[in-house]
Amino acid sequence: MTAHGAFRARGRFYEEFRVGDRFDSGARTLTGPDVAAFAEVTGDHNPLHASGATAADSPFGRPIAHGLLGMGLAVGLIEESGLHHGTTIAMLGISDWRFPSPVFIGDTLSARMTVTAKRPSSRPGRGVVTRRLELVNQAGAIVQRGETVLLVRTREGSGA
């Protein structure tokens, strides 16, 4: 933060993204307490996500993570890279999000981001960046994927 309390941008500005750019995140292992905390915050206590006999009897044979938890992890893993720190204004949308495989407790997950489109915003100082996100498990399988659209500061609109 600066002396005036504003965040200092260290992420990429709109001009620095190119269609086709790909970024890989670090990895994170999903724990039982992660899933339990998500269930508590959201109120989603579906037995598919709980440890015990009910989840073990599920079609997956063991507890799975909430789909939205996986989506949040994909976004968060990319955010941890600092790529968007201080330059993202808002997430404008999510589209075509898919769940090809379950996410299990104990999976070690990483995210891949590919810039698929970009265009100037109708408002000065902003641009729109579309990115494909993939959540990948330790075996290299894509367990979730979809697109998100971000409103991103331009260098001219950064106040720098």
**CA 105 to the chain's CA centroid:** 18
Q: pLDDT tens, 46-72?
A: 888 887 656 667 788 888 999 999 999
Among residues 37, 23, 31, 104, the alpha carbon closest in space to that of 67 is found at: 104
CA distance 61 to 41: 25
Q: Which amino acid is at 9?
A: A
Q: pLDDT tens, 26-37?
A: 999 999 999 999
Specify the residue for token string 């965040």.
7
User: pTM (2 decimals)?
Assistant: 0.89
CB-based burial label for 43 (10 Å; 0-12, 13-18, 19+): exposed
CA distance 35 to 94: 22
